[in-house]
Amino acid sequence: MEQWLMHENQAAKKANDVTKLEDGEFLWIEATPTELHSALDKFQSLTGATIYKQHTSDCLNPNHSSYFDNMQKYNIMIFRALVKEKTFSTLETTPVVFMWSNNVLLTISDTSTSLKKIKTELTDPQRIHPAKIEGLIYSILNLLINSYLLLRDPLTEKFTEWQKLLLDERKPFKRWNEIFSYKTNIQKLYLICEQQLDAISSWQQSMTDKNEEINEVFDLHLSDLQDHVERVSRFAHQIEKQVDALQQLYYSLISNRTNTVMRLLTVISCIVLPLSFITGIFGMNFEKMPLIHNQFGFIFALVGMVVIAIALVMVFVWKRWI
């Protein structure tokens, strides 16, 4: 568990044991799920808030979806963060819990790259630092959401790979399990975005109800967060539609290839049919038949069959059947 003491527009400093906060100061407590109970005790001692039992359970639930809840003395928000950034083999997310009051922020997560980046920025005296807890939360959420935006490149690359494989006429496509897994992850990403939008909207509404001044300051930032989430959601929806269209195109190509093969076989059958008919006639066991005893009978029959075949081919070409 780490504690970061911050003053308005000043670089953050690590604090071992803070028992009281001065005016203009706020404390960021960063903890892991295994440190939850000690972190909650610290949060309650500094804020005087009593943590709702259900919220404690929510903090320990690794599969909890994004949401926001507003209590009298504290707020809680859970946001799903990517486990592996810039990769989309499997969409793995982990919850990041935000619990805050007027001057104390508690975050609970496993290992989040975004939190590490924030700590690096907070200790840099050259940067502009958050003046309030809401500004720090916004900075963390902004990094969490931007990591989803970085998925657009691997998503597009994977789609391009499927496109090349599905439209390759030389090799039959056999990686359907990967396609279905890809679509499942896209749908999961779309659902995560919807839940994140609901959480941000609930937070924005809560700020409006409690304090209009704070809402005016952070309204633009919250709208920016919503816009970023909506961009990810729109892209996920668009790429899902493109995958569906690609599958339909693949089925159409398969159907077209089948129709081409069947048309060729039909043309061959139409050409062979009259030839087989002639062969069948001359294969009858009658004693008296035309050209049976003629020394040029075989040649006449063969020439006639060739002429019929050529004539049929010319008709099919003229009709543009072949």
pLDDT for 32 equals: 85
pLDDT for 216 equals: 65
C-beta atoms surrounding 124 within 10 Å = 11
Q: Is the pLDDT of residue 213 over 60?
A: no
pLDDT for 88 equals: 62
pLDDT for 198 equals: 92
Total residue length of the chain: 322
Instruction: Provide the percentage of residues in the chain whose pLDDT is more than 70.
Output: 89
pLDDT for 111 equals: 65
Contact 280, 314 (CB under 8 A): no
Q: 290: burial class by Cβ within 10 Å (0-12, 13-18, 19+)?
A: exposed
Contact 189, 82 (CB under 8 A): no
Confidence category of residue 78, pLDDT binned at 50, 70, 90: very high
Q: Which of 193-207, 250-264, 274-288 has the highest mean pLDDT?
A: 193-207
Alpha carbon 294 to its chain centroid, in Å, reads 79
Cα separation, 304 vs 293, whole angstroms: 17
pLDDT for 153 equals: 85
What are 277's two structure tokens? 């008919």
Tell me the CB-side half-sphere exposure of residue 160, using CA atoms within 13 A: 6
Report the C-alpha dihedral over residues 185, 190, 195, 199, rounded to 10 degrees.
120
The mean predicted confidence, pLDDT, of the chain is 81
C-beta atoms surrounding 106 within 10 Å = 27
Confidence category of residue 77, pLDDT binned at 50, 70, 90: very high
137-186 pLDDT, tens digit per residue, is 888 888 888 888 888 888 888 888 878 877 777 777 777 888 888 888 88
Helix axes 212-282, 152-166, angle to 10 degrees: 10
Residues 6+ positions from 13 with CB-CB distance below 8 Å: 4, 5, 6
What are 216's two structure tokens? 């005016």
Find the range with the poorest average confidence among 86-95, 200-209, 293-302: 86-95
Short-list 170, 174, 166, CA closest to 252: 166
Can you list the positions of beta strands (E) in 23-167?
25-31, 67-70, 75-82, 93-100, 104-108
Name all domains of the chain by residue range, CATH numbers in brackets. Answer: 2-254 (3.30.460.20), 284-322 (no CATH)
31-73 pLDDT, tens digit per residue, is 888 888 888 888 888 888 888 889 888 888 888 889 999 888 8
Q: Is the pTM of this model over 0.85?
A: no
Alpha carbon 215 to its chain centroid, in Å, reads 32
SS3 call for 112: coil
